[in-house]
Amino acid sequence: MRAVTWHGRADVRVDTVPDPTIQEPTDVIVEITSSGICGSDLHLIEVMAPFMTVGDVMGHEPMGVVREVGPEVTAVRPGDRVVVPFNISCGTCWMCSEGLQSQCETTQNREQGFGASLFGYTKLYGQVPGGQAEYLRVPFGNTLPIKVPQGLPDDRFVYLSDVVPTAWQAVQYAATPPGGTLLVLGLGPIGDMCTRIARHLGIEKVYGVDVVPERLRRATARGTEVIRSTDQDDVVPAIRDATQGRGPDAVIDAVGMEAHDSPFAWAAQKASAVLPDAVMEKVMQVAGVDRLAALNTAIEAVRRGGTISLSGVYGGATDPLPLMRMFDKQVQLRMGQANVWRWVPDILPLLTEGDPLGVDDFATHRVPLEQAPEAYANFREKKDGTVKVLLQP
């Protein structure tokens, strides 16, 4: 089959790789019909490169049609249409029963000290082949795939794999009170979807921060007030002026690490080309590599007693947090990988009964799998109005 594979920093290719096969009695094989490129995929060709291996199949936002099932699979059958959550969870352990599928005890990567395995995402998370491919082996066929109706286009459901549950959890964790104000930092796919979900859930005062024209146009078209700067010295006064000087009740940081803008991360990436992987793995796990501008802006902007919801991905372990400032402001901070199945019952009806979140036209680009390298480059460089790309094998 054809698949998007990792070959190094800023180097993805489409190669022919072996077809996946049934390995466990509860496996299913899914023929992929759509698969998104996520902002966190860019981390794999940047700061997370030391944890990748040449030939790794990428992608964690897939959906498709079941083509083969293991002998113990009863929940789906060939021909069923399914979305595959990005985190690999058994659905039956204690963590899964608590709605913490991203911490699944069955697929936790204990040797690495990390949570549940992810499709297409480094040896830290199991090094499981991903879904930017023609076919995907999906374990836990009775509990992991999300069965969706026939008839509607892929665009209606594919974001259930990651984008919509991640944004939904971010909004829930933000816990904006009735009549309150929510500030969203970053209007990429996750931040944009956060603003849509927030307004759908009745949060009327939603502000978004970004500088990319296409992102700003998308947000303003759906009623979000925008701040056209990412500089803390601009953002904080602007949002305080809009909130009687107090600041927003909640802030969602949907930026995380923008490694290609971080001088330290850039130096680490250069070093990864000449230093042994074992050395760079240790460096990347313990060193502070992130540009924390977005998180620091969130801390400064949020009102006293407010909440910060962190959905952007950060790496490194020594980046300092202004704990005195956070303690003094009585800031609440919630974060973590989205627990996809925790939110499916809330989200799926919105995707089958109309389109209140605007997913039908959420993608800016739909391209054949063979054009993945160009699509990655455009997404990374924010060229050609690229906000969200769907690969279609």
Condensed to tens digits (0 to 9), the pLDDT of residues 45-85 reads 988 888 999 999 999 999 999 999 999 999 999 999 999 99
Determine phi and psi for 282, rounding to 5 degrees: -65, -45
The CA-based angle 25-88-108, given to 5 degrees, is 100
The reported pLDDT for the residue numbered 327 is: 96
Indicate if 6 and 93 belong to the same structural domain. yes
From the list 39, 8, 11, the residue with the least C-alpha distance to 280 is: 8
Q: Residue 375, exposed/middle/buried by CB under 10 A (0-12, 13-18, 19+)?
A: buried
Choice between 248 and 292, residue whose per-residue pLDDT is larger: 248
Antiparallel, parallel or unpaired: β 332-335 and 365-368: unpaired
- For 232, the domain range is 164-335
Mean per-residue pLDDT over the chain, rounded: 92
From the list 145, 149, 114, 188, the residue with the least C-alpha distance to 31 is: 145
d(CA 335, CA 253): 10
Indicate if 224 and 362 belong to the same structural domain. no
Taking the alpha carbons of 130, 131, 137, 141 in that order, is the dihedral positive or negative?
positive
Choice between 75 and 288, residue whose per-residue pLDDT is larger: 75
CATH code for the domain in which residue 54 is found: 3.90.180.10
- Residue 249 in this model has a pLDDT that exceeds 90: yes
> Among 291, 309, 335, where does a domain finish?
335
Indicate if 249 and 349 belong to the same structural domain. no
d(CA 73, CA 70): 6
Indicate if 169 and 141 belong to the same structural domain. no
Q: With bands split at pLDDT 50, 70 and 90, how would you rate the model's confidence at 291?
A: low
- DSSP annotation of 326: H
Indicate if 148 and 10 belong to the same structural domain. yes
Indicate if 131 and 207 belong to the same structural domain. no
Indicate if 145 and 183 belong to the same structural domain. no
Indicate if 185 and 54 belong to the same structural domain. no
Indicate if 184 and 327 belong to the same structural domain. yes
d(CA 316, CA 290): 7
Taking the alpha carbons of 137, 139, 143, 144 in that order, is the dihedral positive or negative?
negative
Based on the structure, what is the number of domains in the chain? 2
CATH code for the domain in which residue 187 is found: 3.40.50.720
Share of the chain above pLDDT 70, in %: 90
The reported pLDDT for the residue numbered 46 is: 84
The reported pLDDT for the residue numbered 259 is: 41
Q: 7 CB contacts (<8 Å, ≥6 apart)? A: 13, 54, 55
Indicate if 182 and 285 belong to the same structural domain. yes
d(CA 237, CA 22): 57
Indicate if 27 and 113 belong to the same structural domain. yes
- DSSP annotation of 382: T
Adjacency order of strands within the sheet including 332-335: 225-227, 205-209, 181-185, 250-253, 307-310, 332-335
Tokens describing residue 88: 């690999």
Tokens describing residue 197: 């979900």
Q: With bands split at pLDDT 50, 70 and 90, how would you rate the model's confidence at 278?
A: low
